Amino acid sequence: MKKFIILMLISLGISTPAISGEHANALSQCLVSNTTEEDKGVMARWVFSTLSQHPSIGSMSTLTKSATTTADRDMAQLVETFMYNKCKDQVKNALQNEGPKAIELSIRQYAQVTGQEILKDPSITNNVTNLAQRLDMMKLFQALMTD
């Protein structure tokens, strides 16, 4: 049951994949297959930096403007590396054959895959496990089983 709760909590942040065409899928595959652990770190830092700007989270973070600027710069460089070098042909093909929506769908699929991989880190799964231990499992079960 705890594993179910953990998987459910992790999946909350991941939207349902949209249906994309052949070229958008090829771009997604290129993005995923060319992502390094270092790239995942860049993305994680950028997401954290971006989320820390939200008013309900800002008081929990002590990020400096310099750290935020660095995260933005590093993420921009990462995006450029993928779009102009690593997956240039796939970007062109997706755009020419399926239009701008293909790029959006590809990036969404890419974010889902890499987000899931980042969330599998033991430090994160331990926090989710800690949260699951604090849940009233009987109350949750009743809520899920009743109309």
Whole-Å CA distances, 17 to 9, 14, 39, 84, 105: 17, 9, 22, 25, 8
Calculate what percentage of the chain has a pLDDT beyond 90: 39
State the average pLDDT for the chain. Answer: 84
Q: What CA–CA distances, in Å, run from 103 to 77, 91, 108, 114, 115?
A: 18, 7, 9, 16, 18
Q: Which of 42-46, 85-89, 106-110 is most confident?
A: 85-89
What distance in Å separates the CA atoms of residue 144 and residue 147, rounded to the nearest whole number? 8
pLDDT band of 23, cuts 50, 70, 90: very high
Lowest mean per-residue pLDDT among 3-7, 99-103, 109-113: 3-7
Cα-flanking dihedrals φ and ψ of residue 37, to 5°?
-60, -35
State the residue for tokens 């950028």: 46
84, pLDDT greater than 60 = yes
Average pLDDT score over residue span 128-142: 85
Is residue 16 predicted with pLDDT exceeding 60? no
The phi, psi pair for 9, rounded to 5°, reads -65, -40
Asked if residue 77 has pLDDT above 80, the reply is yes
**Predicted pLDDT of residue 97:** 94
Q: Are 31 and 106 in contact (CB under 8 A)?
A: yes
